[in-house]
């Protein structure tokens, strides 16, 4: 199971669907577009000259596409690779026996389509049990499911209009908005020619963007409802608990995936189907409880006195406001300038923050941008003497241990940067040690760790480090890095 | 494990979890705000009608001020929530969980114009689809996220009156939470399902079956609660 099971409110359950698609964006959209776009292309080719009808056919067939998407997404959920070919090869999973006919006819305008889809497709419930199941699921989640449909229908429309708008803006020919509106509303869609084709194709592409999210959010909403109804999250924890304390157990993940599959696909554990008792007597027993069927008395006041009419309906006199108008004109002029200034500032601010954001994130991933300073130390290659180890030895002889250590440390950082290690501007000593640990062989790692701790104790701890120790470090520095330096000079 | 949470480590070293809010919840809050604002804006023409063209000018200025300042003022002054966000238990906070101030509220709502471009917040919606924390451009600029603020804990102790028992084994915090959840949500399940669930927790219920097993888990929940 790729998603975490926990209590959520309905909105969060929908959000989870968005996250599910996002985390598997490449695989999901890849497989989905590989199926949807060719079908759409065929539809437009067959109905060439009638783009609106082609769009309408594709739109009407959405429930079938939803089923393909749900087959894809349910595989993703259980960690199976979801490829277009593997889904298309098993039409039993998404076409036959999934209530597709009903979905294309009298259930086509179901406002909770993607929420109800798993009942038909994964649980395969039809007829009366199916209706009861849907009713049960609807009880807490109906509003969320409908909200999802409404929002995404609008978003599909907006994405399409936005794309049309962008094309209009970028097109080399002048296409005033009025003309487009006139074409759309006076001539009708059928006769609009190329404009209609472009519009229909854009609408189809908008569907391609939105539909996976729609199906995924409906699916996770369904999963959440059943999680709450049947306590899946608690079952998972209890099983983990039992597993943790049992003797060496079988692979938990495998067992659990099988259990969850069974739960999703079989309605056996439906609370409404709990066997053993006669439902009628049980309902009577419940209804007999004091929570139900009690009578409440409520009192409220009602006005019973005489009514009267308002006598105050003199027509108000109209005053002339010439002077106010002058002031207002002045202010409106002022406001006009202010609007331009504010608008310009806002645009500049947006550009600035966008640039800052891009620069920051670009830097975090850019490898070639090497810092000049690390924690205040100059790490430009030309700031080092020719032979670092020798220079350090000289400094120690002169009694300047601190400078010597600083030089060795700086030298090591520069050499690591030369070897392509990515130190960033904000890295601490600890970060550098970690990065060296990952990238360098063991002798170098150990050496660098000793060097850093010596440097830290002298620079931050203000403890003296013996001259011998520093000389030893300088000697080792030479062994570690001198060959590299020679090689670099040879190049 | 895919989830919509954002863990935040506080300076004290404690960890809290922000429950990020996605497009649907936020769109609903926005629509509510839009309705409220529209009502205010539509009541203005009646109020200014008697002042002629000058009144119309003042009214337009008021319109501009109300529609621009509405989200900024509410978010900065009312714990990061406009009335619409409050209705749906949402709030704007900084990415580290601290409340938003004037600068962030101003920035994220000024950049709103870019999110709304060109129609119906399409830019913001698409950015939200692919951002890991459901942020629109305004949130990216101001370093904010929108979170759910309602509580998920059920009504404690439908069965809390039960005799309290200590757990027979040492439990992790997550397991303790699950036991308390079981007790809180037990009323929503059929007796059979509750028993089935309880029976899976073998170390807790041992050989008990049916309602006795479920009662045992509830008793342990009561024990956990009394220890707090």
pLDDT tens digits, one per residue of B188-209:
888 888 888 888 888 888 888 8
CB < 8 Å from B in window 267-326 of A: 269, 271-272, 274-276, 316, 318, 321, 324-325
- Give A114 to chain B, closest Cα distance, Å: 15
- Give B2 to chain A, closest Cα distance, Å: 4
Structure tokens at B204: 């807790």
Same domain, B136 and B195: no
Same domain, B99 and B136: yes
Same domain, B183 and B107: no
Q: Cβ separation of A162 and B107 shorter than 8 Å?
A: no
Interface with A, mutate which of B69, B187, B190 (most A CBs under 10 A): B190
- Give B226 to chain A, closest Cα distance, Å: 21
Interface with B, mutate which of A2, A10, A12 (most B CBs under 10 A): A12
Question: Does the beta carbon of A155 lie under 8 angstroms from any beta carbon of chain B?
Answer: yes
Q: What is the pLDDT of residues B92-114, one digit of tens each?
A: 999 988 999 999 999 999 999 89
Residue A261, judged by CB atoms within 10 A of its CB (0-12, 13-18, 19+), counts as: middle
CB < 8 Å from B in window 464-483 of A: none
Q: What is the pLDDT confidence band of residue B31, given thresholds at 50, 70 and 90?
A: very high
Q: Cβ separation of A241 and B175 shorter than 8 Å?
A: yes
Same domain, B133 and B189: no
- Give A227 to chain B, closest Cα distance, Å: 11
Which residues in A445-480 are b (16+ Cβ under 10 Å) and which e?
A: eebbeebbebbeebbeeeeebeeeebbebbebbbeb
Question: Does the beta carbon of B106 lie under 8 angstroms from any beta carbon of chain A?
Answer: no
Domain presence at residue B210: yes
Domain presence at residue B153: no
Question: Does the beta carbon of B49 lie under 8 angstroms from any beta carbon of chain A?
Answer: no
Structure tokens at A81: 């690779």
Mark out the alpha helices in chain B (DSSP H runs).
23-48, 52-77, 83-87, 102-110, 112-116, 122-130, 137-142, 173-185, 191-200, 202-205, 210-227
Query: What pLDDT was estimated at residue A256?
Result: 61
Spatial CA neighbour of A410 closest among A426, A443, A432: A432
Which residues in B lie closer than 8 A to residue A3 (C-beta atoms)?
1-3
Which residues in A lie closer than 8 A to residue B155 (C-beta atoms)?
none
Interface with B, mutate which of A142, A231, A272 (most B CBs under 10 A): A231
Angstrom distance (rounded) from CA A73 to CA A17:
10
Domain presence at residue B214: yes
Cα separations (Å) of B69 from A225, A342, B29?
39, 14, 17
- Give A179 to chain B, closest Cα distance, Å: 19
Which residues in A lie closer than 8 A to residue B20 (C-beta atoms)?
15
Domain presence at residue B166: no
- B193 vs A155, A269, A353: nearest CB: A269
Could you count the other beta carbons within 10 Å of the beta carbon of residue B154?
Answer: 17
Which residues in B lie closer than 8 A to residue A213 (C-beta atoms)?
129
Question: Does the beta carbon of B192 lie under 8 angstroms from any beta carbon of chain A?
Answer: yes
Which residues, including other chains, have CB under 8 Å from residue A153's CB and lie 6 or more apart?
Answer: none
Same domain, B28 and B123: yes
Angstrom distance (rounded) from CA B4 to CA B19:
6
ipTM of this model? 0.89
Same domain, B131 and B181: no
Question: Does the beta carbon of A230 lie under 8 angstroms from any beta carbon of chain B?
Answer: yes
Angstrom distance (rounded) from CA A137 to CA A116:
8
Same domain, B53 and B13: yes
Instruction: Calculate ∠ Cα A98-A101-A105, nearest 5°.
Output: 135
Cβ(A257)–Cβ(A35) below 8 Å: no
Angstrom distance (rounded) from CA A175 to CA A197:
16
CB < 8 Å from A in window 136-175 of B: 140-141, 148, 150, 152, 154, 169, 171, 174-175
Which residues, including other chains, have CB under 8 Å from residue A123's CB and lie 6 or more apart?
Answer: A133, A264, A265, A266, A267
Helix (H) or strand (E) holding A424: none
Spatial CA neighbour of B64 closest among A325, A327, A336, A350: A336
How, if at all, do strands B5-9 and A377-378 pair? unpaired
> Which sign does the torsion angle of CA B45, B47, B50, B55 carry?
negative
Which residues in B lie closer than 8 A to residue A329 (C-beta atoms)?
57
Angstrom distance (rounded) from CA B130 to CA B111:
18
Using DSSP, state whether A223 is helix, strand or coil: helix
Q: Cβ separation of A18 and B28 shorter than 8 Å?
A: no
pLDDT tens sequence for chain A (491 residues): 788 888 899 999 999 999 999 999 999 999 999 999 999 999 999 988 888 889 899 999 999 999 999 999 998 888 887 788 888 888 888 888 888 888 888 888 888 999 999 998 988 888 888 888 898 888 888 889 999 999 999 999 999 888 888 877 776 665 556 666 666 555 555 555 667 788 888 889 999 999 999 999 999 999 999 888 888 888 888 888 888 887 554 555 555 655 665 556 554 444 444 455 677 777 777 777 766 666 778 888 888 777 765 555 554 445 566 777 777 777 777 788 888 888 898 999 899 888 888 777 655 544 456 777 777 777 777 778 878 888 888 888 888 888 888 888 888 888 888 877 777 777 778 888 888 888 788 788 888 888 888 888 887 877 777 888 888 888 888 888 876 555 554 44
Angstrom distance (rounded) from CA A235 to CA B98:
35
Spatial CA neighbour of B156 closest among B173, B180, B190: B180
Domain presence at residue B64: yes
Q: What is the pLDDT of residues B35-64, one digit of tens each?
A: 999 888 888 887 777 777 888 888 888 888
Kindly state the DSSP code that residue A314 receives in the 8-state scheme.
P
Q: Is the pTM of this model over 0.80?
A: no
Question: Does the beta carbon of B111 lie under 8 angstroms from any beta carbon of chain A?
Answer: yes
Domain presence at residue B184: yes
Q: Cβ separation of B129 and A158 shorter than 8 Å?
A: no
Spatial CA neighbour of A447 closest among A421, A487, A401, A411: A411
Residue whose tokens read 């938990």: A252
B195: domain range?
173-227
Q: Cβ separation of B185 and A328 shorter than 8 Å?
A: no
- Give B118 to chain A, closest Cα distance, Å: 6
Q: What is the pLDDT confidence band of residue B21, given thresholds at 50, 70 and 90?
A: very high
Structure tokens at B150: 């309602």
Kindly state the DSSP code that residue B163 receives in the 8-state scheme.
P
Rg (CA), chain B: 25
User: How does DSSP assign B106-143, residue by residue?
Assistant: HHHHHTHHHHHTTTTTHHHHHHHHHSTT---HHHHHHT
Question: Does the beta carbon of B222 lie under 8 angstroms from any beta carbon of chain A?
Answer: no
Angstrom distance (rounded) from CA A275 to CA B35:
49
Same domain, B124 and B67: yes
Query: What pLDDT was estimated at residue A207?
Result: 93
Same domain, B64 and B102: yes
Angstrom distance (rounded) from CA B75 to CA B29:
13
CB pairs under 8 A between A and B: 193
Q: Which of B148, B165, B187 is the last residue of a domain?
A: B148
Same domain, B128 and B183: no
Kindly state the DSSP code that residue B2 receives in the 8-state scheme.
B
Interface with B, mutate which of A79, A180, A353 (most B CBs under 10 A): A353
Domain presence at residue B162: no
Same domain, B202 and B102: no
Residue A221, judged by CB atoms within 10 A of its CB (0-12, 13-18, 19+), counts as: buried
Using DSSP, state whether B19 is helix, strand or coil: strand
Query: What pLDDT was estimated at residue A402?
Result: 84
- Give A77 to chain B, closest Cα distance, Å: 10
Number of folded domains in chain B? 2
Helix (H) or strand (E) holding A436: helix A429-439
Length of chain A: 491
Domain presence at residue B61: yes
What's the half-sphere exposure (Cβ side, CA atoms, 13 Å) at A7? 14
Same domain, B204 and B94: no
Judged by phi (left if over 0) then psi (alpha if -120 to 50, else beta), residue A188 lies in left
Calculate the average pLDDT of chain B: 87
Question: Does the beta carbon of B207 lie under 8 angstroms from any beta carbon of chain A?
Answer: no
Kindly state the DSSP code that residue B99 receives in the 8-state scheme.
B
Q: Which of B148, B163, B193 is the last residue of a domain?
A: B148
How, if at all, do strands A377-378 and B90-94 pair? unpaired
């Amino acid at each position: 199971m790729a998603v975490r099971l926990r209590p959520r409110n309905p909105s969060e359950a929908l959000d989870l669907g968005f996250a599910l698609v996002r985390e598997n964006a490449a695989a999901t959209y890849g497989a989905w577009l590989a199926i949807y776009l060719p079908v759409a292309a065929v539809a437009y080719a067959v109905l060439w000259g009638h783009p609106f009808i082609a769009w309408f056919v594709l739109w009407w067939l959405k429930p079938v596409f939803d089923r393909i998407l749900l087959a894809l997404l349910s595989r993703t959920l259980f960690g199976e690779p979801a490829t277009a070919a593997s889904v298309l090869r098993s039409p039993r999973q998404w076409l036959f026996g999934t209530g597709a006919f009903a979905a294309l006819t009298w259930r086509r305008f179901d406002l909770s389509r993607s929420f109800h889809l798993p009942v038909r497709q994964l649980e395969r419930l039809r007829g009366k049990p199916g209706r009861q199941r849907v009713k049960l699921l609807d009880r807490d989640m109906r509003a969320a499911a409908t909200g999802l449909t409404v929002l995404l229908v609008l978003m599909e429309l907006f994405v399409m209009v936005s794309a049309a708008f962008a094309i209009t803006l970028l097109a080399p020919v002048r296409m005033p908005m009025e003309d487009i509106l006139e074409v759309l509303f006076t001539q009708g869609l059928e006769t609009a020619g190329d404009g209609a084709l472009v519009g229909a194709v854009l609408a189809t592409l908008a569907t391609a963007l939105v539909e996976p999210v729609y199906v995924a959010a409906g699916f996770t909403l369904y999963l959440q409802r059943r999680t709450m109804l049947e306590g899946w999250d608690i079952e998972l924890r209890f099983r983990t608990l039992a597993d943790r304390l049992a003797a060496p157990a079988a692979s938990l993940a495998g067992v659990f995936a099988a259990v969850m599959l069974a739960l999703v696909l079989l309605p056996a554990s439906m609370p409404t189907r709990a066997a053993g008792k006669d439902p009628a007597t049980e309902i009577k027993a419940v209804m007999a409880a004091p929570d139900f069927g009690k009578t409440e008395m409520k009192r409220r006041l009602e006005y019973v006195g005489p009514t009267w009419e308002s006598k105050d309906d003199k027509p108000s006199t109209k005053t002339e406001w010439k002077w106010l108008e002058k002031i207002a004109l002045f202010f409106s002029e002022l406001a006009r300038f202010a609007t331009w200034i504010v608008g310009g500032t806002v645009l500049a601010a947006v550009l600035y923050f966008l640039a800052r954001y891009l620069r920051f994130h670009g830097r975090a991933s850019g490898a070639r941008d090497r810092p000049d300073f690390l924690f205040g130390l100059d790490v430009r290659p030309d700031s080092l003497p020719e032979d670092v180890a020798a220079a350090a030895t000289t400094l120690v002889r002169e009694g300047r241990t601190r400078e010597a250590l600083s030089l060795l440390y700086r030298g090591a950082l520069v050499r690591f940067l030369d070897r392509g290690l990515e130190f960033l501007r904000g890295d601490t000593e600890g970060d550098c040690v970690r990065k060296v640990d990952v990238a360098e062989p063991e002798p170098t790692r150990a050496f660098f760790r000793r060097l850093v701790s010596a440097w830290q104790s002298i620079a931050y701890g203000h403890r003296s480090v013996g001259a011998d120790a520093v000389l030893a470090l300088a000697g080792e520095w030479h062994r570690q890095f001198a060959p590299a330096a020679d090689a670099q000079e040879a190049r | 494990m895919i989830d919509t949470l954002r863990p935040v480590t506080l300076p004290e070293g404690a960890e809290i979890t922000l429950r990020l809010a996605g497009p649907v919840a936020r769109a609903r809050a926005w629509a509510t705000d839009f309705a409220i604002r529209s009502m205010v804006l539509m009541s203005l023409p009646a109020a200014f009608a008697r002042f002629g063209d000058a009144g119309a000018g003042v009214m337009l200025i008021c319109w501009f001020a109300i529609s621009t300042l509405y989200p900024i003022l509410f978010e900065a002054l009312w714990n990061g929530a406009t009335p619409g966000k409050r209705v749906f238990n949402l709030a704007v906070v900084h990415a580290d969980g601290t409340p938003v101030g004037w600068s962030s509220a101003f920035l994220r709502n000024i950049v709103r114009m870019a999110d709304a471009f060109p129609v119906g917040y399409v830019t913001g919606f698409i950015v939200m689809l692919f951002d890991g924390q459901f942020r629109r451009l305004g949130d990216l600029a101001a370093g904010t996220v929108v979170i759910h603020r309602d509580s998920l804990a059920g009504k404690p102790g439908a069965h809390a009156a039960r005799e309290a028992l200590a757990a027979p084994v040492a439990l992790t915090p997550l397991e303790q939470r699950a036991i308390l959840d079981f007790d809180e949500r037990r009323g929503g399940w059929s007796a059979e399902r509750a028993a089935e669930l309880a029976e899976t927790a073998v170390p807790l219920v041992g050989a008990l079956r049916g309602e006795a097993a479920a009662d045992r888990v509830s008793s342990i929940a009561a024990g956990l609660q009394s220890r707090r």
